[in-house]
Amino acid sequence: MWCETLSFDELMQPSVVGLLARFHVDLLLAVRPWQLAEVGDAVRGLRDAGVFVAVWPMLADVDGRWASASSALAYGAFTDELLAQVGFADELAIDLEPPLHDLARWKSGRPTWRQTPAPHTYRTARDSLVGTVERWRAEHRVTTAVLPLLALEWRGQWMQRALGTPATELAVDRHSVMAYTSLYEGWSRGLVNRSRAERLLGLTARLTRSRFGAKAAISLGTVGPGAFGDEPGYRDPSELRRDVQLVRAAGIDEIALFDLGGVIRRAPAEAWLESLCAPA
């Protein structure tokens, strides 16, 4: 379960921690630079309650927010600082996306390929990430979150270079493709209905399995808004249950949901977790 929109105080409420423990849901916890002083206590409290915790580093928005060719050095330095502050986490989740301001342009229909990093910049960032991931993986399980466009990249790294998000050369445990049916539908300007969104999810899941093999994972959503504040969400938990079935039918067993804040705010939270954890 991705957790980006809950404060640490909200997350550490006994009812929320108890819910995660009861459903045996792993937590992928977003950590911003201004939360470093708090994160150690939060991670220790969750792990003491029996919750598996991954830390999910995020830079300040002006620095790009996510890991990419333009933020690789800053992202690596912040992640090192975060891991030192935490002491130990069960997993490190690396969110590989173009800088926030670039995605905002694409979302508004104003993309420009001038945002694509130069070949030298991309190679330098990729090599830097390869080295730091190898070092991190010596002590942690390491996974990524990647855009669904990477599932279309049959061979080579042409899409990774275009987006500035090196992935396939990173020695990670899983690549989780963000295949959000609510966005397929809600951001299509009427071209994609729910039925077509399900077909797109099934196709994305199959391509993800083909592209990444045993490292394939899927992130589903959304239950509530995220970085942009206006992301469309599921109508109800039955849509999540259907998405889980489609992903499992494609042979993918590691599934994450975005995001815990939406789950808590769209009560009853149990209904969302039951759909996420529904048997095949």
**What pLDDT digit, counting tens, does each position of 19-67 carry?**
999 999 999 999 999 999 999 999 999 999 999 999 999 999 999 999 9
> Would you state the pLDDT for residue 221?
97
Q: What is the CATH number of the domain that holds 262?
A: 3.20.20.80
Q: Tell me: the pLDDT tens digits for 240-271?
A: 999 999 999 999 999 999 999 999 999 999 99
142 has pLDDT over 70: yes
> Would you state the pLDDT for residue 113?
56
> Would you state the pLDDT for residue 218?
98
Mean pLDDT (whole number) for 99-122: 77
Domain that holds residue 17: 2-276
* pLDDT classification of 94: cutoffs 50, 70, 90: very high
Mean pLDDT (whole number) for 225-233: 93
State the chain's mean pLDDT as an integer.
Answer: 94
* pLDDT classification of 112: cutoffs 50, 70, 90: low
14 has pLDDT over 60: yes
Under a CB-based contact definition with an 8 Å cutoff, are residues 170 and 155 in contact?
Answer: no
119 has pLDDT over 90: no
* pLDDT classification of 115: cutoffs 50, 70, 90: low
> Would you state the pLDDT for residue 71?
94
> Would you state the pLDDT for residue 117?
82
Q: Which residue has the tokens 């969750």?
A: 46
| Reported pTM | 0.94
DSSP for 37-81, please give it: HHHHHHHHHHHHTT--EEEEE---GGGTSSBSTTTHHHHHHHHHH
> Would you state the pLDDT for residue 239?
98
Mean pLDDT (whole number) for 216-243: 96
Q: How many domains does the chain have?
A: 1
**170 HSE (CA, 13 A, CB side):** 32
Task: List C-alpha distances in Å: 189 to 100, 148, 184, 194.
Answer: 21, 19, 10, 13
Give me the torsion for CA of 161, 165, 169, 174, rounded to 10°. -140
> Would you state the pLDDT for residue 114?
57
Q: Tell me: the pLDDT tens digits for 58-93?
A: 999 999 999 999 999 999 999 999 999 999 999 999
- The residues, any chain, with a CB within 8 Å of residue 36's CB and separated by 6 or more, are 81, 82, 85
> Would you state the pLDDT for residue 120?
87
> Would you state the pLDDT for residue 279?
80
* pLDDT classification of 154: cutoffs 50, 70, 90: confident
